Structure 1
Amino acid sequence: MTGLLVTGIGVVAPTGVGVEEHWASLVRGEPAIRPVEGFDSGRYGVPLAGQVRDFVPADHVSPQLMVQTDRWTWMSLAAATLAAEDAGYTAPEDVYATSVFLASGSGGNEFSQHEIQGLWAKGPRSVGAYQSIAWFYAASTGQVSIRDGFKGPSGVVVSEGAGGLDSIGWARRVARRGTPAVLVGGTEAGLCPYAVLCQATGGRLSSAQRPEDAYLPFDRRADGHVVGEGGAILLLEEPGAAAARGATKVWGEVAGYAATHDAHHHEDPAPDAVQYARAIRLSLADAGVSPDEVDLVMADGAGVPELDRLELEALGAVFGGRTTPVPVTAPSSFTGRLMAGGSALDVATALLAMRDGIVPGTAFLTDPVEAPAGVDLVTAGRVRDLSTVVVLARGAGGFNSSLVLRRPAGGPTS
């Protein structure tokens, strides 16, 4: 059975605004992690981040909508437009034929900080009416569906870093119930003092002063991750519906998906990778794919030694029996961890990798840890034919998700 097709991609990321801009930056091997601009983040021990520098909100969002919403929603609105344009998709006459299922982790941080500061300094009357909707984690889903007139079953997925993949899982459920098109993915904007302080208390951020030392998944020098902002939104369509409207582009097929939960602790990772490995196996079974048929794995790549060790344990458990090790890369090392937006961006990156037959490397991976049997850690970009790619993601609190992408017959079309 053919799965949902990805017919449009919209990217707003530290590596660029637009799918081709993002991809060109990765192919050139240009990390987008730099000193934080806009405020003094060093006071929180967080000197570096992956910021979206080339994003002009007014180019994508109307002034009336901008005053009601936060930066993360501006990015979602922009990415949704870019995805629809990429797909050549216009709102159908049936307003219930399109759904919006986006992921969110932290909501409208910058907007909320501004309103909280007003509350403390001037009192309740200084807080605007839009605070009640701009911070809300479902704001981006709601604003995209309202602006574009999409009234199909919609919702928000809150599973932190796994959210981008989990939104695709929800899209499959919605499509099985009769909605032919779904916008999925998500963005985040967690780079303001309030949001950075919240993340710093988790103890998983790198304090490195230089980008080349900061976010190093699977490297012996790893000491945490770097915050990033942005993400990606993708348009998924039921194959028959895409053909009926004359869709001219297909990036790839969602062949399989699965999610598990460690059910261990809301902050500490489980002592083993049993549930993570189980999610990968279930997604492969869902796709009808064996471990030997996987051409590439895009890892979660936490950059925290203990979490990296657990991820490699899961990968070894699934792919350890392969004759030829599976390449494993962590492209998030170029952008920072984008929370809910990160796994959505990895899906976009995986589709681009399949299109061009290029495996992006892992930034600054110069002293890799020992990988288990069946796993080949990618330190630099390489050329490789890719027909089946697995994208992995984990969310704080024990969420594990795995997505299997398949190149469409004949390759991506445009």
Structure 2
Amino acid sequence: MPDESVDAPQEGAKKLAAARRFFESAAHSINGARQLRGLLIDCRRLLSERGEANSVAIARGLVARFGALPEDAQAGFFERLSRDFSPDPKAVLASAQAYAERPDAANLQRLTQAAEPPRQELLRRINRSPGGTGSIVAMRRALLQRLRGRPELQAVEADFLHLLSSWFNPGFLRLERVDWNSPAQLLEQLIRHEAVHQIDGWDDLRRRLQPDRRCFAFFHPQLPREPLIFVEVALLPAMPGAIAPLIDKASEPLPPGQFKVAAFYSISNCQPGLKGVSLGNFLIKRVAEELQRELPQLKTFCTLSPIPGFARWVRAGAQAQGLPKARAQRLAEAHAALREAVGGEFDKLTHAATLRALPEPAAQAMLRLAAYYLGWHAVQADGDPVARFHLDNGARLERLDPLGDLSDKGRRQSWGMMVNYLYDLGRIESHHEKFVHGEVAQSRLLASLL
């Protein structure tokens, strides 16, 4: 017979704990709702306020309230921005009809004003307060984390992106070289934000800032201590084919007499709230021009880039749309040859020993697959993101580098394969135009693999 005298206290303790969790959750929800109501009142006050001084004070308080909101209440805030701070449909319709009947400047202006969401003006007024720009970047970061599966928030996201793209126009940005004498707080951010090739502490960073290396970053006047994006460059005698020598912290710096090639080997965004704002394409071009002025002997500007989607694409069957029949056949044959070489187990290619021991036909098949992936599939919306960035930026697909990255990440994403993109400063615009029209600018060597 069970001892009910023992079970009863335990059951009571469980019920008490459950009740406590319920009331804590309810109190948390009530508190979040109260904070959200206060924040929305501040939003309406800010939009209605005419005085500059009062507007700044209200905006500062609004930013503080948003920062204190619980995460679930932040989601509620963006929902209310979508619902309560959108244009009035009746006013938009009336203005559109008036403009259709008489398309003059006055009616166009009324239509433009009616169609602009009030939340855009709200964000502009927040931006006028001290630290407002950084606060809006932080708000967008929080918004981006909640976008998935929330189509009703897309219009709010479009407004944030529209305004930030204007405020972070490259004309407003300042290019600075970062070196070992830069403030420690800035150097720490390089270590924290490096997204391509992890910086292994201070010794590694020091080597990456030696005379045969360069690091440049974009800054905004309203965020003077916060790098927006930075790029790392190696000054070399020839185009590099592997990443390990470039990030070897024990390597000796090269003398300036050997500087003939500038290789961009890493570019990292520091502000998640600026995702989708064009920064990197302008940064590379500006840095190339800066280096050419400083070091006229530099004749070649290129990258040594990862191919993050390559292995996944091959595993999925290596499909490329719009291929002529003969090229489609060559692509299928290359895929079959590589699959046969590993016995149908593509995971074997994540091992360095397997990659080094690949027979020549299999190695050539992998090269051809990579050439198709970058030289044909890159123009598709689901093409490799790094390839699309550089090709849209006006670079030329130049050379493939087998065994270029044998790190864990490199073997997992691209079976060690890397690629060089060439930035021919005189032909950037024509190469960009090619990509816009669905064609990849590439070297004869890579074109011959298709």
Using the size of structure 1 for normalisation, the TM-score is: 0.22
* More relative contact order, 1 or 2 (CA 8 Å, 6+ apart): 1
Identify the structure with the greater strand proportion: 1
Identify the structure with the greater helix proportion: 2
